[in-house]
Amino acid sequence: MKRFSLIFFPMVVVALCGTGAAQPVQEDFVLTSDTNPPGVYYTTWPSSTLSTLAPGLISSGITMAYENDHVYVIGGKAGNLYRLSSLGVRCTISTMMPSGGNCLALDQDGSYVVGNSVNGLLYRVIGNKVTTFWSMSSSTSRPSAICRDGTTGDWIVGTQPFGILLSVDRVTGSSLQIYQTTGANSCSLNDVAYMPRTDEFAVVQQRLVISTLPPYQWNLYHELLIITRKGSVRVTREIPGGSVVMAVTVNQKTGRIYLATVGGWIWELDSDANIVTSRSYGYTNLSFQGIQIWGDRNVSVTASGEPATKAQVNLCFDRSKNKPCIVALSLGQRPGIVFGSGNVLNLAPDSLFLLTAGGALPWWTEGFAGTLSGDLGTATASFTIPIGLTPGTCFHVGAVAVNPALPDGLDVGNVECIQVR
């Protein structure tokens, strides 16, 4: 397995900020489009009304930001990295990457990793620098999709044109193939999302198959695959109507899968890839390239993962201002804690969970029980990475807020994975 050196570039922060009137709220979908018309949009599911957050912004990949109050998007042509607030305030964070960036994700150290499907590189953006983190031969296959593996903390990378799904070590860049599409002349894995309830990967695939016999007909398939950790395909679902599926996201609390397409459609599927419902947004030429659930990073963690260092936990539950909150750790995500139908905290109730829920280890954890602020619904906590753990050990961090106005009286947060180095 090859290791890749880091190449450093200065980061440029450009003070190009503008304000829009739109304002998505928690659990809305935020979508990017690169054409007809380009921009960043949002909708309250399952409404068929689409509102504009950032008009004219050509963009592709999107992820919720650290601290849960912005999204980051990668420019579909310029390669720029942008930050957008819920009010439509746009800032250019970096202009130092070439065109071709089309996917991005957030790492545990607060950096953003961007995949470039033209030059075959993964870039890491943090602080005042951009680095080349990982390289794949641009003549063979190139990164077209990325997410964090919620079990190991490493990267899951999908590629084009040979449809390979890889696990990439988040520190060394060494890679291991999980899956490759067969029987296709070319294949793009357009997006990937981790499924914490089942420890699988939701992958959207576009594959071209050309007949080897006259009249040499060709068929283009657009599919959702649910791929296991061992690389087998548990479910394949072709999306009706020839929809070109470009993006996928998974709701951690419900397990539902959401797809966004060229032509302006969103499809909702259950965790077995059965179609539940769909919506068209009335723009036949709208080209959705990314989809994200606004506010789905209630729990944000920054940690180097080095022993004896602190992991910082930031909470943001904007629906539960002034409400009590509880943080907990676990060594796993399954089985999750089911509070109600479609309301699951993906933390295993193991011995570590029982010791840390609400702060039972005061010399190791801080702020694991408290009250969210009245203005933004925020709070902070921390825990220390113990000495002597095997590198690669993972802690899983989750939280809930007590809110009688919400289902089951709880505002359930996401779970973050912290990898020990």
DSSP tally for the chain: helices H, then strands E: 1, 35
Task: Compute the distance between CA of residue 124 and CA of residue 4 in angstroms, rounded to an integer.
Answer: 13
Band the pLDDT of 13: cuts 50, 70, 90: very low
- For 166-219, the pLDDT digits (tens) are 999 999 999 999 999 999 999 999 999 999 999 999 999 999 998 878 888 888
- The residues spanned by each domain of the chain are 7-293, 299-419
Going through 97-199 in order, the beta strands assigned E by DSSP cover: 101-106, 112-116, 121-126, 129-135, 142-148, 155-160, 164-168, 175-180, 186-195
Backbone φ/ψ region at 63: left (φ over 0), alpha (ψ -120 to 50), beta: beta
Task: Compute the distance between CA of residue 315 and CA of residue 380 in angstroms, rounded to an integer.
Answer: 6
- For 228-246, the pLDDT digits (tens) are 999 999 999 999 877 899 9
Give the position of tokens 């801080």.
366
Given a cut of 70, whether residue 18 has pLDDT beyond it is no
Given a cut of 90, whether residue 359 has pLDDT beyond it is no
Given a cut of 90, whether residue 91 has pLDDT beyond it is yes
If one looks up domain 299-419 in CATH, what number appears? 2.60.40
Task: Compute the distance between CA of residue 180 and CA of residue 157 in angstroms, rounded to an integer.
Answer: 12
- For 210-234, the pLDDT digits (tens) are 887 888 888 888 999 999 999 999 9
Given a cut of 90, whether residue 288 has pLDDT beyond it is yes
Cα 80 to Cα 11, 37, 153, 229, 248: the distances in Å are 11, 19, 26, 33, 22
Please list, in sequence order, all residues whose beta carbon lies within 8 angstroms of the beta carbon of residue 232, skipping any fewer than 6 positions away: none
In sequence order, what DSSP letters do the residues of 385-396 get, joined into one string? PPTTPPTT-EEE
Tokens of residue 12, six digits: 């440029």
- For 295-351, the pLDDT digits (tens) are 999 999 999 999 999 999 999 999 999 999 999 999 999 999 999 989 999 999 999
Given a cut of 80, whether residue 285 has pLDDT beyond it is no
Given a cut of 60, whether residue 1 has pLDDT beyond it is no
- For 106-138, the pLDDT digits (tens) are 999 999 999 999 999 999 999 778 999 999 877
Query: Which CATH architecture fits 7-293?
Result: 6 Propeller (2.120)
pLDDT at position 311 is 98
Domains 7-293 and 299-419 agree in fold: no
The one-letter amino acid code at 325 reads C
| Rg of the chain over all Cα atoms, to the nearest angstrom | 21
Going 259 to 262 to 264 to 265, the CA torsion angle's sign is negative
